[in-house]
């Protein structure tokens, strides 16, 4: 009596080498189809690159504004004026005490002599200042909050705390500017998210429509494959790889566009920062952001291709 073969967890016809070979063939064949129509593929990829680059550029703008807020003393800083008669050791001791607070990142001590020299340099009243018998300017502490995105309420609490410090005559902060700056920043963040969603939908539609046209042009080939027993997964595979290439190459074009724009703006931004005596430099894409951009672009490409294939593949019936 013959023995019945044991059942295993794998199909007996499954061969990993053949499976990998078929996928590799579809992978490179889809790239070859893009190369055979260079003008149309390049135009589609250019549109995809621009669509992906737009929200990415807004994201970089918000990041640079946050960096500017952290580096620019006027964004979330407090000027503390000490009482008349305060000595340099007293001012230095208060500066050390305040710098040890966790909600303060830096404290800059400006002596009356330094303040007078700066005022003389920028005011244009040098001759009039020579007539003064003494220096009327007090010791000043320029305090930078630890959180560059500190809320106006938290900044107000910090301001009231500084006013109660011994030897402090006055503490000032430009609350309205902080509110305006952070309001603009929040609007840009919201606009970036909305634009990213809209353009992600646009990328899906562009790739889906491109794949749909490819399906229509290969309709006869698909019908023949179905007649000889080809599965939907087999037919779907090259179109998904085509969506992969559209997403990958479109993301690469977007990264190149952002890099070229950053290079073009680097020198004007540096020159403007020097005019305001700032060491701010325009930040570009880092490796993490670039990798995430490519990953999301690939997912959008595959998603658009999957949607188009799933929608139109069922409508092709070789028996009709």
Spell out the residues 6+ positions from residue 145 whose beta carbon is closer than 8 angstroms to its own. 76, 77, 78, 103, 104, 105, 154, 155, 158
Confidence check: pLDDT of 77 > 90: no
pLDDT digits (tens, 9 = 90+) for 224-258: 877 777 777 788 888 899 999 999 999 999 999 99
82 DSSP β-pair partners: 168
Among residues 255, 305, 273, 278, which one has the least CA distance to residue 33?
Answer: 305
Model pLDDT, residue 105: 84
- At residue 125 the predicted structure's pLDDT band, cuts being 50, 70 and 90, is low
Long-range contacts: 255-260, Cβ < 8 Å, 24+?
Answer: 255/56, 255/285, 255/290, 255/293, 255/294, 256/49, 257/49, 257/50, 257/53, 258/53, 258/56, 258/57, 258/60, 258/284, 258/285, 259/284, 259/285
> What is the β-pairing status of strands 140-145 and 104-110?
antiparallel
Model pLDDT, residue 119: 72
> How many Cβ atoms sit within 10 Å of the Cβ of residue 258?
23
pLDDT digits (tens, 9 = 90+) for 145-175: 887 667 778 888 888 888 888 888 888 886 6
80 DSSP β-pair partners: 141, 171
Alpha-carbon radius of gyration of the chain: 32
> How many Cβ atoms sit within 10 Å of the Cβ of residue 36?
9
Answer CATH for 76-173 from 3.30.420.40, 3.30.70.3040, 3.20.20.70, 3.40.640.10? 3.30.70.3040
- At residue 14 the predicted structure's pLDDT band, cuts being 50, 70 and 90, is low
Model pLDDT, residue 123: 63
Where in the chain are the domains?
A: 18-69+181-313, 76-173
Which is more confident, 85 or 208?
208
Instruction: Check if the beta carbon of residue 148 is closer than 8 Å to that of residue 72.
Output: no
DSSP reduced 3-state for 253: helix
- For tokens 């179109």, the residue is 239
Q: Say whether pTM exceeds 0.85.
A: no
CA dihedral sign, ordered 114, 116, 121, 127: negative
């Amino acid at each position: 009596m013959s023995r019945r073969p044991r059942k295993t967890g794998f199909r007996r016809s499954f061969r990993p080498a053949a499976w990998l070979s078929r996928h590799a063939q579809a992978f490179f064949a889809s790239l070859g189809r893009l190369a055979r129509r260079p003008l149309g593929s390049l135009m589609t990829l250019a549109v995809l690159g621009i669509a992906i680059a737009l929200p990415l550029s807004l994201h970089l703008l918000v990041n640079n504004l946050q960096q500017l807020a952290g580096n620019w003393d006027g964004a979330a800083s407090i000027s503390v004026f000490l009482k008349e008669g305060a000595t340099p050791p007293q001012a230095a001791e208060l500066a050390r005490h305040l710098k040890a607070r966790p909600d303060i990142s830096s404290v800059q001590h400006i002596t009356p002599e330094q303040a007078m020299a700066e005022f003389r340099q920028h005011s244009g009243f040098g001759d009039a200042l020579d007539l003064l018998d003494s220096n009327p300017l007090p010791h000043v502490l320029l305090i930078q909050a630890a959180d560059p995105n500190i809320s106006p309420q938290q900044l107000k609490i910090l301001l009231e705390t500084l006013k109660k410090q011994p030897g402090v005559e006055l503490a000032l902060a430009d609350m309205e500017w902080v509110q305006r700056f952070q309001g603009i920043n929040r609007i840009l963040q919201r606009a970036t998210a909305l634009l990213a969603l809209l353009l992600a939908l646009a990328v899906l539609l562009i790739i889906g429509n491109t794949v749909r046209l490819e399906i229509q042009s290969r309709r006869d080939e698909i019908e023949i494959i179905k007649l000889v027993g080809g599965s939907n997964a087999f037919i779907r595979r090259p179109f998904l790889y085509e969506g992969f290439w559209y997403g990958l190459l479109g993301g690469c074009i977007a990264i190149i566009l952002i890099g070229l724009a950053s290079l073009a703006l680097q020198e004007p931004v540096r020159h403007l920062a020097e005019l305001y005596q700032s060491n701010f430099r325009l930040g570009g894409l880092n490796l993490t952001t670039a990798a995430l951009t490519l990953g999301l672009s690939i997912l959008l490409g595959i998603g658009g291709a999957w949607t188009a294939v799933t929608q139109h593949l069922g409508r092709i019936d070789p028996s009709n």
